[in-house]
Amino acid sequence: MDLATLMGLRPLAAAGLLVTLTRRCPLSCAHCSTASTMDAEQVDADRLRRFVASLSSDTAPQVVLYTGGEPLLRPELLAELASSTRAAGSAPAVLTGGFFARGGPPPDRIWRALLACDHVSFSLDAFHEREVPRAGVFDCLRALLDAGRDVSLHVVGHESGDEYLAEVTSDVSGTFGTRVPMLVSEIRPVGRAASWLNSRQPAVLDARPRPCSLAAWPVIAFDGTVLACCNQRVVDTRPVPEHLRLGHLDTDDWPAIRHRLTHSPVLRMIRTTGPLHLQAKLGSGAGCAGYCQSCRALSQDPAVLAAAACAAAGPVGELLDREVGLMQHRAGAASLVKRYGSSRYADLVAP
């Protein structure tokens, strides 16, 4: 599965699943959104095995993306879960920081885990390059391409005009042509970056319909909680806003999580109109600091929840949810990146 196909599925409810294998990482990047360390928490392996085993061919997501922390710290588990994922009809993919690319070929156990995935994406930025040389990442990309795997790079910079972004994207394109697509985005003030990076983006209070694609794929967080949003503040904060909590690995399987995600009236409205529009039209209209902040506050507004249930609980809500997702899907991966990543480099997702 290439990067454009993977990203094109992002607006479709339950078309993908994000699985956090661990919050541990041997790197110490200053911008790390998860603030990962080597002694951080990770989900019990048996819990993950049980959940992935509940995927079935009739309802399985099209892609399961394994991430961290650094998922390759658990290579045997990743290879096992990727095999189960593929058996259920889903494409396994992994996002890695590439700590194993610091010198020579990857160890056999890591190489087997990489080959177990259909798509392998490496993080590449100025912070990673202080610990993992770009040449080592390029060597891994070449080896994976030779092995028939789809690959990509997740590149981040300070802003669209960052000289680093211009240099590294030019280097990748000059070295690999169109064989290595790139998802280019900008650093956000979350995780470790929150201590030194101030948000440059003003709060967006436009209440016109603005669908949220980040509420389309379930996310298994570090503690086994399953969320309807991949926003890092939602992933990190407990308790989770009730409308964004789908369940837990201890009590729920994939069919239950999928049903809650696709049948929740408030999540349907978030995916189709966005939280600001939902609040302005159906709720109390109380002021919020911005788009995501308004979403996190929806559980505290009974008027929104009641009105969303009336508007989106039935077949009309289901139809609206599906059609708005398909509209964004047809617009293509670059259109999605223009909204959530770096607009300047959005076309590199599908070169």
CB of 40 closer than 8 Å to CB of 217:
no
Residues 237 and 155 in one domain: no
Residues 233 and 191 in one domain: no
Q: Which residues span the domain enclosing 53?
A: 3-201+332-349
Give me the number of domains the chain comprises.
2
Q: Is 183 among the domain residues? A: yes
- Between 258 and 204, name the one with better pLDDT: 258
Residues 17 and 37 in one domain: yes
pLDDT above 70 for 284:
no
Q: Is 324 among the domain residues? A: no
For residues 112 and 97, what is the distance between their CA atoms, to the nearest angstrom? 17
**pLDDT for the residue 303:** 86
Residues 103 and 228 in one domain: no
Q: Which amino acid is at 145?
A: L
- Between 255 and 208, name the one with better pLDDT: 255
CB of 122 closer than 8 Å to CB of 154:
yes
Residues 194 and 221 in one domain: no
Read out DSSP for 73-104?
GSHHHHHHHHHHHHHTTPEEEEEE--GGGSSS
**pLDDT for the residue 75:** 98
Candidates 161, 209, 197, 171; CA nearest to 342 is: 161
**pLDDT for the residue 288:** 59
**pLDDT for the residue 279:** 83
pLDDT above 60 for 286:
no
CB of 242 closer than 8 Å to CB of 254:
no
pLDDT above 80 for 205:
no
Q: For residue 132, what is the domain's CATH number?
A: 3.20.20.70
CB of 350 closer than 8 Å to CB of 181:
yes
**pLDDT for the residue 166:** 97
234 contacts: CB under 8 Å, gap ≥ 6: 227, 240, 241, 244, 296
CB of 217 closer than 8 Å to CB of 280:
no
For 159-200, write each residue's pLDDT tens digit.
889 999 999 999 999 999 999 999 999 999 999 999 888 866
| Vertex 92: Cα angle to 89 and 97 (nearest 5) | 175
Residues 269 and 124 in one domain: no
- The pairing of strands 225-227 and 16-20 is unpaired
Q: Is 286 among the domain residues? A: yes
Q: Is 321 among the domain residues? A: no
Q: How confident is the model at residue 202 (pLDDT cuts 50, 70, 90)?
A: low
Mean pLDDT of the chain: 94
**pLDDT for the residue 283:** 64
Residues 77 and 154 in one domain: yes
Distance spanning both ends of the chain, measured CA to CA: 15
Q: Is 323 among the domain residues? A: no
Q: Is 197 among the domain residues? A: yes
% of the chain beyond a pLDDT of 90? 84
For residues 351 and 347, what is the distance between their CA atoms, to the nearest angstrom? 6
pLDDT above 90 for 65:
yes
For 295-324, write each residue's pLDDT tens digit.
999 988 888 888 899 889 999 999 999 999
Residues 149 and 258 in one domain: no
Residues 171 and 266 in one domain: no
Residues 110 and 251 in one domain: no
For 141-158, write each residue's pLDDT tens digit.
999 999 999 999 999 999
Read out DSSP for 207-274?
-S----GGGSS-EE-TTSEEES---HHHHH-SSPPGGGEEEETTT--HHHHHHHHHH-HHHHHHHHT-
% of the chain beyond a pLDDT of 70? 96
**pLDDT for the residue 154:** 98
Residues 247 and 309 in one domain: yes
CB of 14 closer than 8 Å to CB of 139:
no
For 246-272, write each residue's pLDDT tens digit.
999 999 999 999 999 999 999 999 999
Residues 196 and 304 in one domain: no
pLDDT above 60 for 285:
no
**pLDDT for the residue 112:** 98
Q: Is 27 among the domain residues? A: yes
Q: Is 318 among the domain residues? A: no
